[in-house]
Amino acid sequence: MLSEQDNRRLTLTGPGTAMGNLFRQYWQPALLSRELEAGGAPKRVKILGEDFIAFRDGEGRAGVVEPRCPHRGADLFFGRNEHSGIRCAYHGWHFDVQGQCLDIPTASAKVAESLKPKAALHSLAVREACDMIWVHFGTPQGDTPQLDFTDLPPEHYFVSKKFQQCNWAQAVEGGIDTAHFSYLHANIDNGERAGLMPSQGVNEPPENGRYRWMIEDATPQFTILEHDAGLVMCAARQADNNQLYWRITQFMMPNHSMAPNSFPGDNHVGNTWVPVDDHSCWIFCYAYNPERPLSEQERRAYANGFGIFAEVDDNYVPIRRRENDYLIDREAQQTTNFTGISGISEQDAAIADSQGLIADRTRELLGQTDLGVVKFRRLMLESVDLMEKGGTPRGVGNALAYRVRSGDAMSEPDAVGLDVATNRFGELAGMSLRESRGTAA
């Protein structure tokens, strides 16, 4: 539970807000690399409540610049993308990917030269990595986060995105909350909750109990660890033969997560939640396999909305979304799956949206299974405090700290999270892995 003030502080990311300032310390993915074609159509991009246009010039360089021509304020979205950059449709003023003004045809050569520096567009620092175009609102400290798949050959990973119609923070809270698997994603068999397997298409033998254990134990025991990029959420459920089944989730500042559900050899998945404005966000979704290329079949499944990926339209807006109640099927809700909504991603989206455009955290009844959510909020709010006192929030300038991995593990009944995570992931459990006490620095 948060005070109304802390809830605003956690959720609002527009210019001048506390959390907005924190986000502006980090690289953020703004688009998929494939959304921009060299010399192709510019795209409108809204991020952290600010409007930009993104385009690739004729040489393939990507730019993310303010959309307003400094001459008379025409929208550069309508501009013509020429070899060296975008040219305003009104009077032909010309700008490169860094916002530099290249040409002012309405002025004499001499006047134009003196005017160009004043005519520069505000632009964001841009880098491309992991099939995404990353931006930084200020002066970047260090590289883009070195996510676990950063150095893998492209055949090993698949990246997409989906639009989410609520505030970023509650969507993150859904992403790091493994407790809800016992209900939200449950299948229904003979009127009772049952494993996820059949309808999710995961190619796993029935004797593997992980989906059954999630159904049978709705009160996983949480241990929160910390590392130099964020948090590790370890949730242990009762498994067969007195063993524990661990689902281990990574959270990396300020808005990345690597999800569990991977035993060694399985594909890994993760998300980044990027605020569009205070009431919506883009969720970048990635799947990868460190050991082998993804198969064509896997790529196709992800592209069509399997697992954390949503079934989306040409604009990456989910087909099943807020306006259509996610095409909830009340008959299916009684007989097939717990929500009557088709798709893991869509089930997550529905429940996050349903908390409101911005979840009201002033009225909650949190328990032990919400520990990860509580720690996430605390880390974010403490990081804002730290930044406001002049400190460096966790992860800033430390791209390598993001090289972490998530997944599942089995253990004896008395194992502790720190050991389980270290045994399972080694160094990929997180840089300077430690138990959670205070959080921020």
Residues that bind a copy of itself (CB under 8 A): 39-41, 68, 70-75, 77-78, 80-81, 87-92, 104-108, 111, 115, 118-119, 173, 179-180, 182-184, 218-219, 328, 330, 333-334, 338-341, 347, 350-351, 354-356, 359-361, 363-370, 373
CB nearer a copy of itself, residue 72 or residue 300: 72
User: In angstroms, rounded to a whole number, what is the distance separating the alpha carbons of residues 409 and 321?
Assistant: 33
* CB 344, min distance to a copy of itself, A: 13
Q: Nearest distance from residue 348's CB to a copy of itself, in Å?
A: 10
Q: How far is CA 270 from CA 306, 354, 358, 366, 427, in A?
A: 13, 22, 23, 25, 18
Of residues 71 and 127, the one with the C-beta less far from a copy of itself = 71
Find tokens 């730290």 and name the residue.
Answer: 386
- Tally of CA atoms within 13 A in the half-sphere of 405 that contains its CB: 25
- In the numeric block, the tokens 């809270």 are attached to 173
| Cα–Cα–Cα angle for 369, 370, 375, rounded to 5 degrees | 125
Distant-in-sequence, close-in-space partners of 245: CB < 8 Å, separation ≥ 6:
209, 210, 213, 214, 236, 237, 238, 239, 408, 410
Q: How far apart, in whole angstroms, are the C-alpha atoms of residue 262 and residue 110?
A: 64
CB of 201 to a copy of itself, least distance (A): 21
Q: Which residue has the tokens 């799956």?
A: 337
67/145 with CB nearer a copy of itself: 67
Quick one: which of 90, 103, 333 has its CA closest to 199? Answer: 333
Q: Which is nearer to a copy of itself, 327 or 418 (CB)?
A: 327
**CB-wise, 139 or 365, nearer to a copy of itself?**
365
Q: Which is nearer to a copy of itself, 51 or 128 (CB)?
A: 51
- Could you give the angle at the alpha carbon of 41 between the alpha carbons of 39 and 44, nearest 5°? 130
In the complex with a copy of itself, the residue whose CB is nearer, 341 or 440, is 341
Find the shortest distance in angstroms from Cβ 383 to a copy of itself: 22
- What DSSP string runs through 261-284? ---TTS-EEEEEEEEEETTEEEEE
Question: Would you say 127 or 322 has its CB closer to a copy of itself?
Answer: 322
List, in order, residues 6 or more apart from 302 with CB less than 8 Å away.
158, 160, 285, 287, 294, 309
The DSSP 8-state label assigned to residue 137 in this structure reads S
Shortest reach from residue 77's CB to a copy of itself, in Å: 7
Q: Distances from the Cα of 431 to the Cαs of 151, 170, 322, in angstroms?
A: 18, 26, 39
